[in-house]
Amino acid sequence: MSANLPELAKELAKALVDYPEEVSVLAAGDSEYVKLELEVAEDDLGRVIGRSGRTARALRTILSAAAEKNGQRCSLDILE
């Protein structure tokens, strides 16, 4: 599992939220697939998801592109 993906997800989320100290990312997976779980403050949930899920979709696209560069697949779940 690439150590860069969780850090990338965390840094991207921190740039979007009002409470960056409450951003956490859990990663699980192997050399082919990485599952990321992003947790933010309740007040920031809307900022991370975005209107009609646009921001969440953009985050997933960026992370998938980074994972693909390493020959991996990636998914991002945003926890409530």
pLDDT tens digits for range 23-40: 999 999 998 999 999 999
Q: Which residue has 């990338």 as its token pair?
A: 8
Q: Which residue has 């696209």 as its token pair?
A: 61
Which three-class secondary structure state does DSSP give residue 29?
A: strand
pTM of the model: 0.90
Query: What are the tokens at 3?
Result: 């150590």
Residue among 54, 47, 53, 58 nearest 22 (CA)? 47
In CATH, what number does 4-79 get?
3.30.300.20
DSSP bridge pairs for 44:
none
- Cα 11-2-14 angle, rounded to 5 deg: 10
User: Could you state, in order of their start, the residue ranges of all structural domains in the chain?
Assistant: 4-79
Question: What pLDDT is stored for residue 8 in this prediction?
Answer: 97
